[in-house]
Amino acid sequence: MANTHKNEEMTSLERISTALQYKKPDRVPVAPLFCGASHRVLGITYDTWSLDAALATKSLLAAHEIIGFDAFVTLVDLSVEAYDFGQAVIFPKNSTGYPDYNNLFIRNGDDYLKVKYVDPLQSRRMKSVIDICGGLAKARGHDTGVIGFIYGPLGVLSQMRGHEDLFKDLIRHPDRVLEAVETINGTLVEYATAQIRAGAHSVCIDPLYSSASILKKETWERFEGPFCRRIADSIRNAGGLVTMHNCGNGVYFDAILKWINPVAISHAYPAYGCKTWEEHAAVWGNKVVSMGHSDPAATGIEMTPEEIIEDCRAQIETFSGCNGGYILSTGCEFPPNGNLLSAIAMIKAGKIHGVYS
């Protein structure tokens, strides 16, 4: 299927690229972070999808054929990197893989020293994501956005220590945490670069704790900000665009721009300090492109297609003053168990209500 739809002037890739430059494309690009849900399109189980790059690529391509989104995002799950550092991961048949919390790689302050550099190209799961990026780029990179994905170093560490203990260790063992973050980041820099070299146009960094719902801004800036900057620089140096995702409430947009400076931020809530989406659009909409902000659960599970189209219309309206710098998306991954028709409704909304005059 050609990716220039009837009555549309641009390919998906052109549409996304234009929006990222704050120019008006033919219509608002739509990228509903349709990742794990694609396993159902191909009819494979989630665990297979999570571990088999060829099948994951095939299912993402099949989902794209059906839904017609403007960009792929290669989020498999948040345990990808941790797995390769040695964390035991459980892969449910019908849900997202997650760390075995009864068998954590880091069990005390001393265990942070166990974390060693891993070559992503020699790893199991990171290599798989690199291959997915390559496969998607080869098949559709000429006309559709391919956005790789990388979990921030503190996030990776949380998968190996458990969130709660990691948060406490930021106070109890800050130097040990920083040492492990430094080691992990060496791998992440290589990993991000490899995704771009494989053909991804961009890599999306997920520094999940850069929001007021979790950490104080200064804490995030100490433990992850400078490290994310190095990842971002490596993406840019490899010729890719830096994007960023955080579905937490009250993301520190100022700190993100300072340390990562992405071309777009995928987010579920207004930035820290903004009470409404209107305020967010007025304050940040013309500084960095927003990717958002449909409620994933409501969109994928609760709402009818008609309700989704109306919800998306309102979002497009909110960001209409951003000179084209806006991408309609879900605020977090489209639910793996969500209704495929809901994703299609989002695309439809972009076509109906997102046409720039």
Partner 1 sequence: MSGVKELLYKDLEEAVVEMDEERAVETAKRVVEEGFDAYDAIEKGLAVGMERAGQLFDEEEYFIPELLMCSDAMYAGMDILRPHIRQENVAVKQKVVIGVVQGDTHDIGKNLVKIMLETSGFDVTDLGRDIPPARFVETAKKIDAGIIALSTLMTTTMDGMGEVVRNLIEQGIRDKFKVIVGGGPISQGFADRIGADGYAHNAADAVKLAKRLVA
Give the residue with the Cβ less far from partner 1, 212 or 238: 212
Chain-centroid distance of CA 320 in Å reads: 23
Q: Interface with partner 1 by CB under 8 A: which range of 57-65, 116-124, 253-261, 294-302?
A: 294-302
297 interacts with partner 1 by CB under 8 A: yes
107 interacts with partner 1 by CB under 8 A: no
Give the residue with the Cβ less far from partner 1, 14 or 333: 333
Chain-centroid distance of CA 62 in Å reads: 20
337 interacts with partner 1 by CB under 8 A: yes
Name the residue with tokens 């972070």: 33
271 interacts with partner 1 by CB under 8 A: no
Among 3, 195, 219, 339, binds partner 1 (CB under 8 A): 219
Q: What share of the chain is helix, strand, coil (3-state, %, to 5)?
A: 50, 15, 35
196 interacts with partner 1 by CB under 8 A: no
Q: Give the amino acid at 25.
A: P
Give the residue with the Cβ less far from partner 1, 69 or 272: 272
Give the residue with the Cβ less far from partner 1, 242 or 268: 268
Centre a 10 Å sphere on the Cβ of residue 20 and count the other Cβ atoms it contains: 24
Give the residue with the Cβ less far from partner 1, 218 or 317: 218
Centre a 10 Å sphere on the Cβ of residue 277 and count the other Cβ atoms it contains: 19
- Give 314's contacts (C-beta < 8 A, 6+ positions apart): none
Per DSSP, the three-state class of 146 is strand
Least CB distance to partner 1 at residue 166 (A): 9
302 interacts with partner 1 by CB under 8 A: yes
Using alpha carbons only, what angle is made at residue 252 by residues 186 and 337, rounded to the nearest 5 degrees? 80
Least CB distance to partner 1 at residue 102 (A): 9
Give the residue with the Cβ less far from partner 1, 55 or 166: 166
Name the residue with tokens 């406490």: 168
95 interacts with partner 1 by CB under 8 A: yes
Least CB distance to partner 1 at residue 245 (A): 14
Report the run of H or E that residue 83 belongs to, with start and end. Answer: helix 80-84
Closest to 184 in 3D by CA, of 205, 163, 155: 155
Least CB distance to partner 1 at residue 272 (A): 10
Check residue 33 and give left, alpha or beta (phi > 0: left; psi -120 to 50: alpha): left
62 interacts with partner 1 by CB under 8 A: no
Check residue 203 and give left, alpha or beta (phi > 0: left; psi -120 to 50: alpha): beta
- Give 233's contacts (C-beta < 8 A, 6+ positions apart): none
Q: Give the amino acid at 340.
A: L
Give the residue with the Cβ less far from partner 1, 24 or 163: 163
117 interacts with partner 1 by CB under 8 A: no
Size of the site for partner 1 (CB under 8 A): 33
300 interacts with partner 1 by CB under 8 A: yes
Binding site for partner 1 (CB under 8 A): 92, 94-96, 98-99, 101, 163-164, 167-168, 170-172, 212-216, 219, 247, 295-298, 300-302, 332, 335-338
